[in-house]
Amino acid sequence: MFHRDDPRAPAIAFLRRRSGLPIWADLGWRVGIILLLVTLVLIVHWIERDGLLDTLDREISFTDVLYFTTVTVTTVGYGDIVPVSTTTRLFETFFVTPIRIFVWLLFFGTAYHFVLRSSWHRWRMARIQKTLQDHIIVAGYGTSGSEAVRELIARNIDRRRIVVIDGSEASLALAEAAGCNVLKGDATRDQTLNDVRVQKAQAVIVSAGRDDTSILITLTARALAAKVPISTVVRATDNEDLARQAGATTVINPASFAGLLLAGSCQGSHIADYIADLAATGGQVRLNERPVAPEEVGKPLSAVSPGLGVRIYRAGRAISFWDEEAQMLYGGDLVVEILPEKP
């Protein structure tokens, strides 16, 4: 995995949340700082008014001081009132000039925050959306979601093709560090899934941490994208059928899978190890699903190459390698095979 600062790392495109402060409060503290600085400069100018010279009438009134203060804080002045004493000139040099720079930076920052940033984010979001095609949406970046992303990246899936939706800023920061697109939002809402173009996705992974939330996300995603494969994580066995009824293509129960590994380990010390090897990258073997190749049509499942064919999916029905129907492959079949992991 690349470090975030590594120039070889892929570019990160992400959408961020708004400031936690209300707009009026955010604007208020900026105005308050400017008024405080102007007041401080005004007080010093009034105290040191004898060091100022009005080239028009040679007299310095409070109005002149107020005018000179606002002009010098926001600009370099017009030359009608000028500092003439050494003390006043030093004050203008080492105190007013830094304040002027700070005020301008505050002005620019406020303009960016309230005007330019929203336009920039809308433009950036539109640009990201245009590139979202055959991407993988991960709704929920908890333990299962983050592990799924890690495994996808290990399988050479482009990080920029992964979009993570979560309501936690901390979780999004982790997904961002992994190089994914991130969106802070509620995946149960149509707008959120439309923002990540769920209709154009290659697959959707749902792992919200709560079964009811995961099922609702699945239901929403299926309503918006009728043909996109959806894999949903549920933790209660009773909810597996509900997830399928909601539209999940694949339902995964981590507790049940762990139970299978535990039970298998009782029948042989290497069974659980081999199952884990098949499921994850980094081992000696891996599972692969693909359409049957044209040159394989008419041949038995045992003839597929270079892998070891173990199952056929034909019209949504599973056919094992020992079944009579596995003796001939047809166009449109999906083949599940075991391949050697690439070194």
CB atoms closer than 10 angstroms to residue 140: 26
Of residues 287 and 233, the one with the higher pLDDT is 233
Q: In the chain, how long is the greatest CA-to-CA distance?
A: 110
Q: Outline where DSSP puts E strands in 131-284.
A: 136-139, 162-166, 181-184, 203-206, 230-233, 250-252
- Residue 216's nearest CA partner among 187, 192, 195, 175 is 187
CB atoms closer than 10 angstroms to residue 261: 14
How far is 164 from 48, CA to CA, in rounded Å? 60
Q: Check residue 119 and give its pLDDT.
A: 63
Backbone angles phi, psi at 248, to 5 degrees: -70, 130
Domain with CATH 1.10.287 in the chain: 23-129
In which residue are the tokens 């060091």 written? 51
Mean pLDDT score of the chain: 83
Domain with CATH 3.40.50.720 in the chain: 132-252
Q: What is the per-residue pLDDT across 216-265, written as a single tens digit (0 to 9) for each?
A: 999 999 999 999 999 999 999 899 999 999 999 999 888 776 666 676 67
Q: What is the mean pLDDT of residues 299-308?
A: 90
Q: What is the per-residue pLDDT across 140-150, written as a single tens digit (0 to 9) for each?
A: 999 899 989 99
Contact 59/39 with Cβ under 8 angstroms? no
Q: Which CATH superfamily is domain 132-252 in?
A: NAD(P)-binding Rossmann-like Domain (3.40.50.720)
Domain with CATH 3.30.70 in the chain: 284-340
Of residues 137 and 195, the one with the higher pLDDT is 137
The identity of residue 256, as a single letter, is: S
Domain 23-129, CATH class in plain words: mainly alpha
Q: Check residue 228 and give its pLDDT.
A: 95
Q: What is the per-residue pLDDT across 65-83, written as a single tens digit (0 to 9) for each?
A: 888 888 888 887 777 888 8
CATH number of 284-340: 3.30.70
Q: What is the mean pLDDT of residues 205-224?
A: 95
Q: Check residue 21 and give its pLDDT.
A: 56
Q: Cα dist. 70→77, 105, 218 in Å?
A: 9, 16, 59
Residue ranges of the alpha helices (H) in 55-162? 62-74, 86-91, 97-111, 117-131, 143-154
